[in-house]
Amino acid sequence: MRLLLVEDDAMIGEAIRAGLRRDGFTVDWVHDGETAEQVLKTESFDVLLLDLGLPRKAGLAVLSGLRARGDALPVIILTARDSVSDRVQGLDAGADDYLVKPFDLDELAARIRALLRRKSGQTAPAIEHLGVVLNPAAHTVQRDGQDIALSPREFALLQLLMERPGTIHSRERIEGRLYGWGEELESNAIEVHVHGLRRKLGADFILTVRGVGYRVRPA
Ligand code: CA
């Protein structure tokens, strides 16, 4: 899952990015509202973590612009302003959730997972498909009740494919979701991860749709 973090405080931003990376998220970070707006217009993310007090453009203006363009990207507001009116304004401007600083990083990660579940219409915390059970919070995968050890990238790829089992994902889209800015990406990286998953989950769990991309085998 790829997140865009918009936060101008270096210490808070660094802590959030480090904590969420430990939790398996891909995190890209910008420091002002204007840059956030540019990036949001050209790249795709799974969740936006948005500070309100930002240089160059206020967080609320970034959020309003996003919704005015019809972009339904899930948004969590991160704010130091502990006033009811700020939170109400944020939610009314189209935010899905908010956290008041200082907050616990585990709580932030849990809220991100909850938001992603709601957006994909999932009700259970774990995703199940053809005997494979993936638990995003516990970072575990089981096949027919047996624990399967995956690398962080394999886990992220499997989660992406299992969350929308009917969807074919192009290599470009998968790369965009698994790798943030400045992260080394070999040209055959996705093929390598798919190969690893097939070795661990069975050769036919992930199908190659020639010329299009990858999907999990239909149930
Ligand atoms: Ca700020």
**Cα 178 to ligand 1 centre (Å):** 27
- Residue 24 C-alpha from the chain's centroid: 9
The verdict on pTM exceeding 0.75 is yes
**Cα 52 to ligand 1 centre (Å):** 6
Q: Are strands 140-143 and 132-135 parallel, antiparallel or unpaired?
A: antiparallel
Say how far apart CA 179 and CA 4 lie, in whole Å.
12
Domain 2-119 is found in CATH 3.40.50.2300: yes
In this model, does residue 122 exceed pLDDT 80?
no
Q: Where are the domain boundaries for CATH 3.40.50.2300 in the chain?
A: 2-119
Say how far apart CA 50 and CA 60 lie, in whole Å.
9
- Map residue 29 onto helix, strand or coil: strand
Q: Where are the domain boundaries for CATH 1.10.10.10 in the chain?
A: 127-216
CB atoms within 10 A of CB 174: 21
Using alpha carbons, select from 124, 128, 25 the residue that is nearest to residue 76: 25
**Cα 137 to ligand 1 centre (Å):** 28
Domain 127-216 fold is Arc Repressor Mutant, subunit A (1.10.10)
**Cα 65 to ligand 1 centre (Å):** 19
Question: What sign does the CA torsion over 161, 164, 168, 173 have?
Answer: negative
Band (108; pLDDT cuts 50, 70, 90): very high
Tens digit of pLDDT for each residue in 151-175?
989 999 999 999 888 899 999 889 9
**Cα 43 to ligand 1 centre (Å):** 23
**Cα 55 to ligand 1 centre (Å):** 8
Residue with token string 């405080």: 9
Tens digit of pLDDT for each residue in 175-186?
988 888 888 888
- Map residue 36 onto helix, strand or coil: helix
**Cα 113 to ligand 1 centre (Å):** 24
**Cα 51 to ligand 1 centre (Å):** 6
